[in-house]
Amino acid sequence: MSFTADTISGVDPFASHLRVLHVLQPGEAGVWRYASDMAGFEAAQGWDVHVASPVRPDADVPWREWQAVRNPAKGVRDESRRLLGIVEELRPDVVVAHSSKAGLVVRSALRGSLPTVFLPHAWSFAALTGPVALAARRWEKLAAQWTSAVVCVGEGEARTGVAAGIRAPFFLVPNPVPPQWASDARRPFSELGIGSAPDVVFVGRLSEQKGVDHLLAAWGVVRRLRPDATLVIVGDGPDRADLEASAGPGVRFVGAVTDPWSYVEAAPVAVLPSRWEGLSLSMLEAMASGRSMVVTDVDGSEVVRAAGGGAVVPVGDTTALARELLTRLDEPDLVAQEGRSAQEYVRVHHDFEVAARRLAAIVSRAYAFGDPASS
C-alpha cells in the first residue's frame, strides 16, 4: 500500500486508505465509548475500520467478538490465540489497543510484527501496589519495543508513563467530550423520580477505581454539618451492593441509566473521588455541563486545575473531600463561577473532531514508519 507525504506528516491522515483494527477489553464505560467514537469517526472519513471487543461497539463498523477479562493474570493465552485469528483474517495495516489488558495481549501476541498504537487509558501500575505494580512497570518497559506509539489521553498520564521509564514514542491527545454528548436527550428534573434536586452527583462505574467508598465516608461528615444535603450516585458495577449497604442518609443510588447527564444537570456540583484515572470522560462531560468539580489528585485532575473549575484533593483524604464539598454547598456564587470556567475550558481544549484527527494522524504515522520490530 502506498502513502503520501501528507500522510507521513499527519497533515491529511486520511489521504491513504488504511485498514485499522481497534482492540479493546472493556465492554462498558469510558474506554468502550471512546473506542467506539474514534472507530466511527475514522470509518466516516473513509478508512476500513474494524473493532474487536467483548461487546459490539456503538459505531456502525464491522465487529469481531473478542472475549477478554480485566485481570492481566487470567486468560492471556486464549485471548492471544483468538486475537491472532482475527488479525490473520483481517490483515490490518495498523492495530490500535485500548486499555492495559488489550495492550498486554496485542503486544505480547504480535511482538511488533504490525504497526501498533497503544492507549493505556490509565496505566495498569497506577492501580497496583508492591511487587505486582513493579512487575506491571517492567512489562510496560519491555513492551515499548513492540509499540509504534503510546497515546496518552491527558498530560498527567503522559508524565506518569515517562516517569516510569517507558521508552516509546509518546503522543498527547487529550480526551474529548464524546460527540453525542450535546445531542443526548435530557429528561426534565421532575421526571427523574429522585425527589428534591440533589446537591452533588457522581457518575461512574461502581468499582474500586472510582473511590465511591471514600465518597460515602466523606458524605457522612457532610451530613453531620448539613443534614439536608443530598447525593445522587449514577452508575452500576461490581461494588454496588456493598456500597449501598454502607451508605448513610441522604444518598440515592439510581443505577445505570441511558441519560446520566439528566442527573448531572440536576445538581450544581459533580464529584469524582477516583483512586486512579487516565483522564475521566465523565469528568469532562460534567465540566461541559457547567458543573463545579471536586476531584482527587489523579492523572487528569490537571484539567480541573487549569480550568479553575473546582477543587482537587489528595486520593483517599475523606476529610479534605468533605471540606471541599461543604464549601460548595455553602458558596453558590463560587459554584456558578467554577461551572462557567469549567464549561469554557472544555469547549476550547477538548473538542472531539480535533482529538479524533490527532489520533488518526498518529495511526497514519505508525503505518508510514512500519513495524516497530523492524525499525
The string of pLDDT tens digits covering residues 42-70 is: 999 999 999 999 989 888 899 999 988 77
Are 89 and 144 members of one domain? Answer: yes
**Residue 8 pLDDT > 80:** no
Report the domain count for the chain. 2
Residue 181 domain-assigned? no
Range 12-23 average pLDDT:
90
| Residue 29 to residue 210: CA distance in whole angstroms | 12
Residue 112 domain-assigned? yes
The string of pLDDT tens digits covering residues 166-201 is: 999 999 999 998 766 655 556 666 666 666 778 999
pLDDT bin (cut points 50, 70, 90) of residue 211 is very high
What is the b/e burial string over 97-121, where b = at least 16 CB atoms within 10 angstroms of the residue's CB?
A: bbbbbbbbbbbbbbebebbbbbbbb
| Residue 217 to residue 233: CA distance in whole angstroms | 14
Residue 330 domain-assigned? yes
Are 237 and 130 members of one domain? Answer: no
Q: Which domain holds residue 89?
A: 5-176+352-374
Are 172 and 287 members of one domain? Answer: no
Are 97 and 156 members of one domain? Answer: yes
The three-state secondary structure class of 205 is coil
Are 310 and 331 members of one domain? Answer: yes
Residue 167 domain-assigned? yes
pTM of the model: 0.81
Are 194 and 65 members of one domain? Answer: no
H or E stretch including 305?
Answer: helix 302-307
Half-sphere exposure of 287 (CA within 13 A, CB side): 37
pLDDT number for residue 6: 42
pLDDT number for residue 3: 44
By the 8 A CB rule, do 35 and 51 touch?
Answer: yes
pLDDT number for residue 7: 43
pLDDT number for residue 25: 84
The string of pLDDT tens digits covering residues 271-330 is: 999 999 988 888 999 999 999 999 999 999 999 999 999 999 999 999 999 999 999 999
Return mean pLDDT, the chain: 89
**Residue 215 pLDDT > 50:** yes
Residue 183 domain-assigned? no
Identify the CATH number of the domain in which residue 50 sits: 3.40.50.2000
Are 153 and 77 members of one domain? Answer: yes
Are 160 and 206 members of one domain? Answer: no
Are 100 and 208 members of one domain? Answer: no
Are 16 and 53 members of one domain? Answer: yes
pLDDT number for residue 184: 58
The string of pLDDT tens digits covering residues 68-102 is: 877 766 878 999 999 999 999 999 999 999 998 99
Amino acid at 107: R
| Residue 302 to residue 308: CA distance in whole angstroms | 10
Residue 80 domain-assigned? yes
The string of pLDDT tens digits covering residues 119-143 is: 999 888 887 778 888 998 998 999 9
Are 146 and 260 members of one domain? Answer: no
Nearest-CA neighbor of 97 among 119, 75, 66, 121?
119
Highest mean predicted confidence (pLDDT) among 67-71, 216-220, 257-261, 273-277: 216-220
Range 262-269 average pLDDT:
90
Amino acid at 23: V
pLDDT number for residue 27: 62
pLDDT number for residue 4: 44
Residue 182 domain-assigned? no
Are 335 and 358 members of one domain? Answer: no
Residue 92 domain-assigned? yes
Least confident of 72-76, 202-206, 319-323, 362-366: 72-76
pLDDT number for residue 356: 94
pLDDT number for residue 28: 65
